Amino acid sequence: MKNSKLLFASLIVSGIILMAMGFTNADEWIVPAKYKTMENPYASSSDDYGSELYETHCTSCHGDEGYGDGKKAETLETSMRELGSEEVQSQTDGELYYKSVIGRDEMSNFEKKISSVEDRWLLINYLRTLAE
């Protein structure tokens, strides 16, 4: 009986620890290594098409200027990041590509909607212009 109480208590404590770890890391977005080091082949391009893509696909959540104040933003469970913030802008182009194109959870996958690889990179270039 004593062993079963000890086992039960250990399971409860373990469960609480695992839940706490999950909540602590829930906001962390792990980007695969191949994306972290991915080079932007269009980094020097100043094509305005990236802003059109942003307007079409991103403003509803991220807002006109990337403040996270789009019409859909307050309906989402995910907290919005200011796209011009140091937190976002300090990421590599590959990390931004992964998060913006591949997505996760409430951040949609845009591989089909933005099928051109060049266009995807032009969107990343535009995101760089949102720096504060």
Give residue 44's pLDDT.
87
Terminal-to-terminal C-alpha distance of the chain: 62
Looking at the whole model, is its pTM more than 0.85?
no
Q: What would the pLDDT profile of 69-120 be if each residue is shown by its tens digit? A: 999 999 999 888 999 999 999 999 999 999 999 999 999 999 999 999 999 9
Check if the beta carbon of residue 3 is closer than 8 Å to that of residue 9: no
Mean pLDDT, rounded, of the chain: 86
pLDDT at residue 10 above 60?
A: no
Check if the beta carbon of residue 100 is closer than 8 Å to that of residue 110: yes
Give residue 11's pLDDT.
47
CA distance 70 to 88: 17
Check if the beta carbon of residue 32 is closer than 8 Å to that of residue 92: no
Mean local confidence (pLDDT), 17-46: 76
CA distance 112 to 96: 17
- Count CB neighbours of 131 within 10 A: 12
How far CA 105 is from CA of 28, 38, 46, 119, in Å, comes to: 12, 22, 31, 23
Determine what percent of the chain is predicted with pLDDT higher than 70.
79
